[in-house]
Amino acid sequence: MSMAPPPLVISIQSQVVFGHVGNSAAVFPMQAAGLEVAAIPTVIFSNQPGHPTLRGAPLPPDLFADLLAGAWERGLPQRASWLVTGYIGSVEVAGMIADFVGRAKAANPGLRYLCDPVMGDHEPGLYVPAALAGILRDRLLPLADLATPNSFEAAYLSGRAMATLPDLAAAAAALRLADGGTLIATGCVLADSPPGHLESVIAGPHGLSRHPIPRLPVALPGAGDLFAALIVAGLARGRALTQAVESAQGLTAAALAHADRIGAAEVVLSDPGFRAALLTL
Which domains are assigned to the chain?
8-279 (3.40.1190.20)
* pLDDT digits (tens), the chain, 281 positions: 567 889 999 999 999 999 999 999 999 999 999 999 999 999 999 999 989 999 999 999 999 999 999 999 999 999 999 999 999 999 999 999 999 999 999 999 999 999 999 999 988 899 999 999 999 999 999 999 999 999 999 999 999 988 999 999 999 999 999 999 999 999 999 999 999 999 999 999 989 999 999 998 888 899 999 999 999 999 999 999 999 999 999 999 999 999 989 998 889 999 999 999 999 98
Instruction: State the Cα–Cα distance between residues 84 and 77, nearest whole angstrom.
Output: 12
Question: For residues 156-185, b (16+ Cβ closer than 10 Å) or e, as one string?
Answer: bbbebebbebebbbbbbebbebbeebbbbb
Given this model, what pLDDT does residue 218 score?
A: 82
Task: Confirm if 196 and 160 have CB atoms less than 8 A apart.
Answer: no
Distance CA 152, CA 167 (A): 13
Contact 114/143 with Cβ under 8 angstroms? no
Q: What global pTM score does this model have?
A: 0.96
| Sheet arrangement for strand 146-147 | 56-58, 36-45, 8-16, 82-85, 112-115, 146-147, 182-188, 197-204, 207-214
pLDDT value of residue 219: 84
Of 253, 228, 261, 10, the closest CA to residue 111 belongs to 10
* Angle 200-204-209 from CA coordinates, rounded to 5°: 40
